[in-house]
Structure 1
Amino acid sequence: MDPGPLIRLTIADCGAKVLQSAVQLDVFTALAAGPKDAAELAGAAGLHPRLAADFLDALAGLGLLIREDGRYRNSPLSDAYLVQGRDTYLGGFVDLTNETLYGTWGRLTEALRTGEPQHLDPDKGGFVGDRHADPEKMKRFLKGLDAFSDRMGAELAEAVDWSGYRSFVDLGGARGNLAAVLVDRHPHLDATCYDLPRTGPIFDEHISRLGRTGRVRFVGGDFFTDPIPQADVIVLGHILHGFDADQSRRLLRRVYQAVRPGGSVLIYDRMIDDARSNADRLLSSLHMRLVSRDGGEYRVADCRAWVAAAGFTDGGDRPLLGTHTLVIGSRPGGAQ
């Protein structure tokens, strides 16, 4: 039996680190204007000649660069998502994973033995998601998710018929990026971003930079204890995976009261397939369990059962972005 698959899995983090270093060194932006030879690219990215050739050829081997006649250019994938300044830039997310994943996953064995979450900085309580105490680090975290939320917002804008709705609330909407995309695609919508009060200044700064001040409003509060603003649609993206089943059911009961009759709840996460066979989804769930006491991804069937138990009519599920699942529930009554 060939042990190759096992060896490749064992060193999979090496390829990830090559990508992350290339983003940090801005290799792909350096090639945005056109191809460069090895010396030119090494100079532009500040690469030491001892490692440059292997590093650049490894990027080519990974499909991130294309090498032709001794010159390098971006692959279509890198050109689309790894050139700074473009709306589709995902480098912030690459930086985010580089900063957050290795510290926690390096303590996976300890977590498996103790069941305890492994924070990034255990001496200071660590942080989960955008709950970081440092506003600048919160900004870095949220910036890392912006390109993702741009894509999710664009897909959500097409996956749902918004013509019968007049308002929506993005629950846990952070600095309003997804809400801004939705109102761009559907200008008739009244948009609210609901998040913890300390997120307000970051929201104001970001929405102003996007030129959407007045188009998306911010309401601060805790959605377990404070009133949730009423709307035709409430969106819960990457929310329920932070809580256990009892907390999720409790939150969805509160959401039901906030959705107007005839309205809907939209839930998306990297939900686990009902057969629990998708390794990427299960790794995402394991990550949530590593960094939080109650979090973890959940099966699609579980989410649909929670939605129905809250009082919604089950509207089924569908894939989003190829990596996520959208579950829809409708509140009976009223007219859309």
Structure 2
Amino acid sequence: MQYGAIPESLVERLALTAGLVPIPMMDAMFGMLKSRFVMAGVKLGIFEALASEPGTAESLAAALELDGPSLELLLRSLVFAGYLELDGGHYRLSAMSRKSMVSGAPRELTGFVMWNYTQWQYTEHLELLLQTGRGVDFHSTLQDAEAWGYYQKGMLEGARFNAPVLAKHVPVRKGATTLLDLAGSHGLMGAAICRKHPPMRSTVIELPAAVTHARTLAEREGINDIVDHRSGDVMTEALGSGADVVLLSNILHHFLPDQIGSLLERVHQSLNADGTVAIWELERPNRDSKPSGGDGIALFFRITSTASTYSGDEYAGWLTQAGFSRVKIVRPRLSPGSVIVHARR
């Protein structure tokens, strides 16, 4: 999806066409402001305060102990951004915010928004990455337990959109009972496959800093009846043997190609005969394709992990090199920018 200067009137459209709009200034300023406005709305409890009933700027400022004039400007900005609505001096949640910006909402994204405070800090590393080629590698450097919690919750919120799509496309042999979910956090992606193919159960191997949060999230999500968690680093932890399915969901973009190749060889050894390996990832566009938002995502993961997203063809090649057969690439229409690559042992 594209983002940028969007004219709202004929005059603005003409000004944009005539080159009279300082687009670089708008790109530098307004994307940053919109992101921070939304983050403040979650962190300061503004969306939660409006969940039960509309309120004025004055009543919200008193209830939340915030500066009234500043809050009114934020509220008006959130109306402009589509997160709130204004009617007769009273602010209320927009339909989008009611679905996503309050606790327990059907498409809640408050955990991801709070995790964005940490991601905000990581983006400050961009210039150093460009000078040195080294990212933050936050999985080994992040020490803030609260940030780890928001990270895990944010990943769960994203997985709710994708789990049904993944489960639809992953082939599972008849009689399968065990799924190994590598660095699967909350375990929802693997749980969706298990629900589709009973009596399968999933075991998630997750980093010690994440696993306590992940277990709690699995319990709240109602999947702990088929998901177990084991503390460990997937790059060094023994994967065992006898798995019917091994899932790598949104994890390989944190690894370099040689690490991915080594891990896939170990995955091959851990699977039963005719077992399935399934990769779910954001896909980097091919270098000869038209530049897109996927290139920015790839760069972001170089910032966070020194690695990157990769193309479906690259994953397919690594799977073949690791000894897998019947490799298939799937690009789900309902998950643009994502790719599923699965294969059999």
What range is the shorter-chain TM-score in?
0.7 to 0.9
- Alignment partner for residue 305 of structure 1, among 293, 317, 324? 317
Deviation at 1:206, TM superposition (A): 4.1
- Pick which of 19-28 and 224-233 moved more: 224-233
Letter in 2 for 1:315: K
1:42 equivalent in alignment to 2:61: yes
- Alignment partner for residue 341 of structure 2, among 328, 332, 335? 328
- Pick which of 241-250 and 65-74 moved more: 65-74
Deviation at 1:326, TM superposition (A): 2.8
The aligned counterpart of 1:149 is 159
CA–CA separation in structure 2 for the residues paired with 1:167 and 1:281? 33
The aligned counterpart of 1:242 is 254
Give the % identical residues: 26
What TM-score, normalized by structure 1, do the two folds share? 0.83
The aligned counterpart of 1:286 is 299
Name stretches of at least 5 consecutive residues in structure 2 with no aligned partner. Answer: 1-18
Instruction: Tell me the SS of whatever aligns to 1:145.
Output: helix
The aligned counterpart of 2:89 is 70
Contact 2:54 2:91 in 1 (8 A): yes
Does the C-alpha gap of structure 1 residues 220 and 52 become closer, same or farther in structure 2, counting only changes over 3 Å?
Answer: closer
Instruction: Tell me the SS of whatever aligns to 2:138.
Output: coil
Name stretches of at least 5 consecutive residues in structure 1 with no aligned partner. Answer: 120-126
The aligned counterpart of 2:130 is 112
Deviation at 1:110, TM superposition (A): 2.7
Does the C-alpha gap of structure 1 residues 327 and 79 become closer, same or farther in structure 2, counting only changes over 3 Å?
Answer: same
Deviation at 1:280, TM superposition (A): 2.7
Letter in 1 for 2:166: L
- Alignment partner for residue 79 of structure 1, among 82, 91, 98? 98
The aligned counterpart of 2:108 is 89
Letter in 2 for 1:168: L
Letter in 1 for 2:115: L
CA–CA separation in structure 2 for the residues paired with 1:87 and 1:130? 32
Instruction: Tell me the SS of whatever aligns to 1:227.
Output: coil
Question: Structure 1, residues 243-289: CA drift from partner, whole Å, max 9, x if none?
Answer: 11122122112212223233322212221122454543222221221
Letter in 1 for 2:28: T
CA–CA separation in structure 1 for the residues paired with 2:303 and 2:35? 20
CA–CA separation in structure 2 for the residues paired with 1:149 and 1:58? 29
1:6 equivalent in alignment to 2:24: yes
Root-mean-square deviation (CA), in Å? 2.8
1:224 equivalent in alignment to 2:228: no
Contact 1:259 1:331 in 2 (8 A): no
CA–CA separation in structure 2 for the residues paired with 1:302 and 1:221? 27
Does the C-alpha gap of structure 1 residues 184 and 41 become closer, same or farther in structure 2, counting only changes over 3 Å?
Answer: farther
Contact 1:129 1:141 in 2 (8 A): no
Contact 1:273 1:300 in 2 (8 A): no
